[in-house]
A and B are shown apart, each in its own frame.
Chain A
Amino acid sequence: MKRLQRRSLATFWSVLFFFYVPILVLVVNSFNASKFGGAWKGFTFKWYEKLFQDRAIWQAMENTFAVAVGATLASVVLGTLAALAISRWKGRLQSAHYGLLYTHLVLPDILMGISLLLFFISVGMELSLFTVFLAHTTFCVSYVAMAVLGRLENFDGSLLEAASDLGATPWQTFWKVQFPLLLPGIVAGGLLAFTLSIDDFVITFFVNGAGSETLPVKIYGMIKRSRDLPKINALSTLMMCVTVLAVVASRMMQGRGMRPQKDASAARRPSSPAERREGQGGRVRGAAHHA
Chain B
Amino acid sequence: MTKRFGPLTAVNSVTFGVQRGEFFSLLGPSGCGKTTLLRMLAGFEQPDEGRILLDGRDITRLPPDKRQVNTVFQNYALFPHLSIRDNIAFGLRLRRLPRAEIEERVDEMLGLVQLRDHASKKPTQLSGGQKQRVAIARALVLKPQVLLLDEPLAALDLKLRQHMQIELDEIHDRVGITFLYVTHDQGEAMGLADRIAVMRNGVVEQIDPPARIYESPRTSFVAAFIGDTNFFEGVVTRIVDHDYCDVEVEDLGTVRCWNDKHIRAGAKVYLSVRPEKLHLTHERPADLHDGKVNVFPVTVYQKVYQGAWTRFWVRHGENVDDCWELSVLQVHSRYLLDTTPISWDDRVWLSWHADDGYMLENYDERDETLLNHPTEPVVPAPDAPYPADAAAEPAAAAPQEPSADAERS
Q: Is the interface of A mostly helix, strand, loop or mixed?
A: helix
Per-position binary interface string of chain B over residues 23-64, scored 1 when its CB falls under 8 Å from any chain A CB and 0 otherwise: 000000000000000000011100000000000000000011
List 23 A-B residue pairs with CB atoms under 8 Å apart, sorted by A's residue number. Answer: A156-B77, A158-B77, A159-B79, A161-B77, A164-B65, A165-B44, A165-B69, A165-B70, A166-B90, A166-B94, A166-B139, A167-B94, A168-B65, A172-B94, A177-B79, A181-B81, A258-B80, A259-B80, A259-B124, A261-B80, A261-B123, A261-B124, A264-B127
Chain B: CB-nearest residue to A268: B124
Task: Give chain B nearest CB distance to A187 CB in angstroms.
Answer: 14
Kindly list chain A residues whose C-beta atoms are within 8 Å of the C-beta of B408.
none
Q: How distant is the Cα of A87 from the Cα of B60 in the complex, in angstroms?
A: 28
Kindly list chain B residues whose C-beta atoms are within 8 Å of the C-beta of A134.
none
Kindly list chain A residues whose C-beta atoms are within 8 Å of the C-beta of B142.
166-167
Q: Does A262 reach chain B (CB closer than 8 Å)?
A: yes
Q: How large is the interface on B (under 10, 10 to 19, 20 to 34, 35 or more residues)?
A: 20 to 34
Contact B44–A161 (Cβ < 8 Å): yes
Contact A158–B75 (Cβ < 8 Å): yes
Chain B: CB-nearest residue to A183: B81
Knowing that A161-B42, A165-B139, A167-B91 touch, tell me 15 more A-B residue pairs with CB under 8 angstroms. A158-B75, A161-B73, A162-B73, A162-B79, A163-B79, A164-B43, A164-B65, A166-B70, A167-B142, A176-B94, A257-B81, A258-B80, A261-B76, A261-B80, A264-B127
Q: Does A263 reach chain B (CB closer than 8 Å)?
A: yes
- 8 Å CB interface, A35-78 against B: none
Q: Does B372 reach chain A (CB closer than 8 Å)?
A: no
Q: Does B71 reach chain A (CB closer than 8 Å)?
A: yes
Q: How distant is the Cα of A187 from the Cα of B300 in the complex, in angstroms?
A: 72
Q: Does A5 reach chain B (CB closer than 8 Å)?
A: no
The 8 Å CB contact of B81, one of A161, A165, A180, A262, is A180
Chain A: CB-nearest residue to B91: A166
Per-position binary interface string of chain B over residues 124-154, scored 1 when its CB falls under 8 Å from any chain A CB and 0 otherwise: 1001100100000011001000000000000
Contact A165–B80 (Cβ < 8 Å): no
Task: Give chain A nearest CB distance to B162 CB in angstroms.
Answer: 19
Contact A262–B79 (Cβ < 8 Å): no
Tally of A-B Cβ pairs under 8 angstroms: 76
Kindly list chain A residues whose C-beta atoms are within 8 Å of the C-beta of B81.
180-181, 257-258
Kindly list chain A residues whose C-beta atoms are within 8 Å of the C-beta of B76.
261
Q: Does A122 reach chain B (CB closer than 8 Å)?
A: no
What residues of chain A have their CB less than 8 Å away from a CB belonging to chain B?
156, 158-159, 161-169, 172, 176-177, 180-181, 257-259, 261-264, 267
Kindly list chain B residues whose C-beta atoms are within 8 Å of the C-beta of A156.
75, 77
Contact A158–B63 (Cβ < 8 Å): no
What residues of chain B have their CB less than 8 Å away from a CB belonging to chain A?
42-44, 63-65, 69-71, 73, 75-81, 90-91, 94-95, 123-124, 127-128, 131, 138-139, 142, 155
Question: Taking A169-B65, A261-B131, A264-B127 as contacts, is the C-beta distance between A162 and B77 under 8 angstroms?
Answer: yes
Kindly list chain A residues whose C-beta atoms are within 8 Å of the C-beta of B42.
161, 165
Chain A: CB-nearest residue to B127: A264
The 8 Å CB contact of A163, one of B90, B131, B139, is B90
Kindly list chain A residues whose C-beta atoms are within 8 Å of the C-beta of B127.
264
Q: How distant is the Cα of A257 from the Cα of B78 in the complex, in angstroms?
A: 14
Q: How distant is the Cα of A259 from the Cα of B125 in the complex, in angstroms?
A: 12
Kindly list chain A residues whose C-beta atoms are within 8 Å of the C-beta of B94.
166-168, 172, 176
Please give me the 9 A-B residue pairs with the lowest Cβ-Cβ distance, nearest first: A166-B91, A162-B77, A158-B77, A164-B64, A267-B124, A167-B94, A165-B71, A180-B81, A167-B65
Kindly list chain A residues whose C-beta atoms are within 8 Å of the C-beta of B63.
164
Most chain A beta-carbon neighbours within 10 Å: one of B77, B78, B128, B142: B77
Task: Give chain B nearest CB distance to A272 CB in angstroms.
Answer: 13
Chain A: CB-nearest residue to B122: A261
Task: Give chain A nearest CB distance to B152 CB in angstroms.
Answer: 13
Kindly list chain B residues whose C-beta atoms are within 8 Å of the C-beta of A158.
73, 75, 77
Most chain A beta-carbon neighbours within 10 Å: one of B65, B78, B138, B155: B65
Contact B64–A262 (Cβ < 8 Å): no
Kindly list chain A residues whose C-beta atoms are within 8 Å of the C-beta of B73.
158, 161-162
